[in-house]
Chains A and B, each alone.
Chain A
Amino acid sequence: MLSPYVPIVTMFCLATLFVGASVLFSSRHIGPRRFSRTKAEAYECGIEPTPQGPGTHRFPVKFYLTAMLFIIFDIETIFIYPWAVTFGFLGVFGLVEMVLFIATVFIAYAYVWRRGGLEWD
């Protein structure tokens, strides 16, 4: 029943073995290990890492809101684009459905705008 998948499972096992042998085993036991302060630091795109832990100041994460709002409009675009391409075939039905969809997103947009979600400060 599952025979076509047996080679795939075999490949998975081989891949796991390879990763285990090369990355985990060999590099640990053969490669040199030299630690430095820079290596121990958190990696933040090469800039000075943001201070964390007790005693350091808090930092704002309000960009998350912008990112979330961006995704909503991003998704909207994803739906509008194929609709626009096939508009001729979908006709009035497609138009009505798309208007409903955009109206729903617009309601969310109006809420965000009125409640200050678009203000940075």
Chain B
Amino acid sequence: MSLSRRSFMQHMAVFSGLGLAPKFLTDAYADPAQVIQGFNDDRVLVVVQLGGGNDGLNTITPFEDDLYYKARPKIGLKQNRLLKLNDQLGMNDAMKALMPYYDQGNLAVIQGVGYPNPDRSHFRSMEIWHTASDSDEYLGDGWIGRYFDNNCSGTAQPQVGLALDAERPQAFGSSLGYGIATDNPARFGWNPGSGNDSESAFEAVNGGKAPKNSTLDFLRHTTTAAIESSSEVRMAADKGKIAMPQRGGRGARVNQLDTVAGLIRGGLATRIYYVSTSGFDTHAGQAGKHEQLLGGVAGALAKFQKQLEKDGTADRVTTMVFSEFGRRVNENGSGGTDHGTAAPMFLLGNAVQGGVHGTTPRLDDLDRGDLKYSTDFRRIYTTLLDDWLHADPTTVLDESFDKMKLINV
């Protein structure tokens, strides 16, 4: 990326924020009021990350397979604890809040998702999911960052990607710098931290003229873009009447989905939202704890979906749920499970083709005690990029992956 293109993008971000974007840069066929600035349509992707490694076998359980109960004498889920998805598989009944969406055909369960030569380190495996790399490949940029770099038009603003966290996820890593992170959208911006209201002074000290094309000029423009962008986030937060972020307690962070619904309602020009929760590293005493975690996630997702329906924004949103890996087939001696490999993923939304997708990994054909993956996670990325976001997946992923029938096109 050349500096001149970079500066151009930055400048465009500034102009567009001020409503000065040249008409030819806005979209040809869509009504500008209906689209997300920088894109051709108004579609939104919400990514929900379950950190720690979610136990796939106790999320979607193969209740007809004796090997499952043999491997998990203590924590195996009996049939009465399962919501049947078909004659083989049942969903942990802690997730009952999502069952109506499954029944309506708006919840896709994708079985056996993983990648070749799986890494069992949280850190590294998460990185592989974020960068969409091979297991032995080390990439700096993230898959979402590459999507922005190659698919935004010049009118896109920094908030095309918004992570509800203090730091940008690695998935946002990009050379053009799209994507912002804030754990408190209602207060996103310059925070003096001393309780004084000197924002006007802040804008005044940063408002002066600078010699054209100088470094200072570049900094001034980016500052203007940042002020503009953060004020749009705050305005959307205000307009969407979002509640202040909840703190503490497990699963509390998933309630950030409320915030996402609010920002969508508030009209923020964001294409991809990123939300994460953690605690899924259930090495010991998994029974009960895991149900609490799954219940929290399912409840938050169902509430989110209901809110979108109420706001009239549900048709615009698809949500993807993933974890960095599943867990070992055999339970361990502490009533928990250790790091494993493949696991199910979820997609939720009105455009989602519901049901069970992919191939359920066999319990009689393990790789050193772990499930063999049947679907590369990059197939799901490819599908979402192509069928939901209308982007060319090859601008994001080095290799090409077969799409799946997950989105109603």
Q: Do A and B come from one complex?
A: no
Give the B-binding residues of A (Cβ under 8 A).
none
